[in-house]
Amino acid sequence: MSELNPKLHDIYDEVLRRNPGEAEFHQAVFEVLSSLGPVVTKHPEYVNSAVIRRMCEPERQIIFRVPWLDDNGDVQINRGFRVEFNSALGPYKGGLRFHPSVYLGIVKFLGFEQIFKNSLTGLPIGGGKGGSDFDPKGRSDNEIMRFCQSFMTELYRHLGEYTDVPAGDIGVGGREIGYLFGQYKRITNRYESGVLTGKGLSWGGSQVRTEATGYGAVYFADEILKTTKDSFEGKRAVVSGSGNVAIYAIEKIHQLGGTVVAASDSSGYIVDEKGIDLELLKEIKEVKRERIEAYAKARGGATQFVSDGSIWDVPCQIAIPSATQNELDGDHAAALARNGCKIVAEGANMPCTPDAVKLFSEAGVTVAPGKAANAGGVATSGLEMQQNASRDSWSFEYTEQRLAAIMQSIHHRCLVTADEYGAPGNYVLGANIAGFIQVADAMTALGLI
């Protein structure tokens, strides 16, 4: 507790007491609270009006049974979640995660982060998150469809374009959003495009949504480089994961003249000194849905697949962790710093442990926190909602310009706020404070909510 301002101890104690066993949620709350010391010193009213306490308690938490039939005709049962965390700025907005590790603590951590991330985008969207402990790996298309239909059969009653607007996350991409939207449309008899984002381009989706999170994280890193008149040109990078965020982070780094030499999945990582062949990686991951070892086999040459060990041992100047929470710990951070890494932009949510963040700070490595660096995904979801509301669709170029402008603006807000609160260059503090103040002020304006 030593890093918390004494005015915030009780709030954190209450979170621990109310949410036992939810380690990831505790970690996410602690991370935000530990940035708010200078804010509550300057503005004690945020503590006195209990706005911070209220922000730590979700507005609504929904847990439900998801029964479905597998291809053998056997009944399977999963658990579904939606945590509607904060709607002070707009309808709840945040993705759905399908992964066996999902439980209430993961959904709450993600929902809590989402409040501040969505605030940073400057768009009128509140924070929420959902998902299920369903494991899509090895399931047929039909099984995925039946699961999604059953999931939506309960969830639909809580959604609406002005109420709660989910999108994808780990294990939920365009295919799943399609099945979910189809079931929503069927039950409600409404073609309500604005109820889900990440839709297909031919039925209400937005250009650049698929690319947005990865592209956005790289734009953010590029803004950091620009502060020292540097660029991606000639830089060596490592991107963990090989899913939606990772693939498009790699694509944008290559477009900007950098080289990504390593990527991973939960079975291991590949090292390709010539630079990842993105078309091959997309084919293996997006089309064939194979394990990453298949990349090394197909690429041949000196490309290596490593099943034990850490991708963070691969030397690089820029690291973009884009797989999952707490994937990069203190030891990994030490290895990265020792090997000359200068910038870590979090493509995933909370991929760096608190130890890692501390070590980076001591070693002079700049950390762009996920709630700022990966906000491009939800920002483009916000742009998808705008297009749906006006029955319009924008070009790829125009949408990408909007995304780039939003990422620049988030970067600027983080920097200016960090300066204002006496921590120049500290993007973690800048993002937490800037995101917090906007939501706190909106909650205050709306009365006791």
Binding residues vs ligand NDP (CB under 6 A): 168-171, 213, 241-246, 265-267, 322-324, 327, 347-349, 374, 377
For 35, 37, 150, 446, the CA distances from 348, given in Å and listed in that order, are 20, 26, 28, 32
Nearest to 209 by CA among 374, 381, 385: 381
- Is residue 60 helix, strand or coil? strand
Question: Sign of the C-alpha dihedral, residues 324, 329, 333, 336?
Answer: negative
| Cα distance between residue 82 and residue 98, in whole Å | 12
- 98 - beta bridge partners? 132
Shortest distance (Å) from residue 302 CB to ligand NDP: 23
Shortest distance (Å) from residue 265 CB to ligand NDP: 3
| Cα distance between residue 169 and residue 244, in whole Å | 9
Residue 340 neighbours by CB distance under 10 Å = 11
Contact 31, 354 (CB under 8 A): yes
In 265-329, which residue ranges form alpha helices assigned H by DSSP? 278-282, 293-299
**Residue carrying the six token digits 């906007």:** 438
CA 28 to chain centre: 13
Q: Which residue is nearest to ligand NDP (CB)?
A: 243
H or E element at residue 250 = helix 244-255
| Cα distance between residue 304 and residue 24, in whole Å | 33
Shortest distance (Å) from residue 52 CB to ligand NDP: 24
What's the token pair of residue 223?
């803004």
Active site annotation includes 129? yes
Which residue out of 129, 185, 199, 285 is catalytically annotated? 129
Would you state the torsion angle of the CA atoms of residues 279, 284, 288, 292, taken in this order, to the nearest 10 degrees? -170
In 78-173, which residue ranges form alpha helices assigned H by DSSP? 104-121, 141-155
Nearer to ligand NDP, 266 or 395 (CB): 266
Nearer to ligand NDP, 58 or 171 (CB): 171
Q: Which residues are part of the catalytic machinery?
A: 129
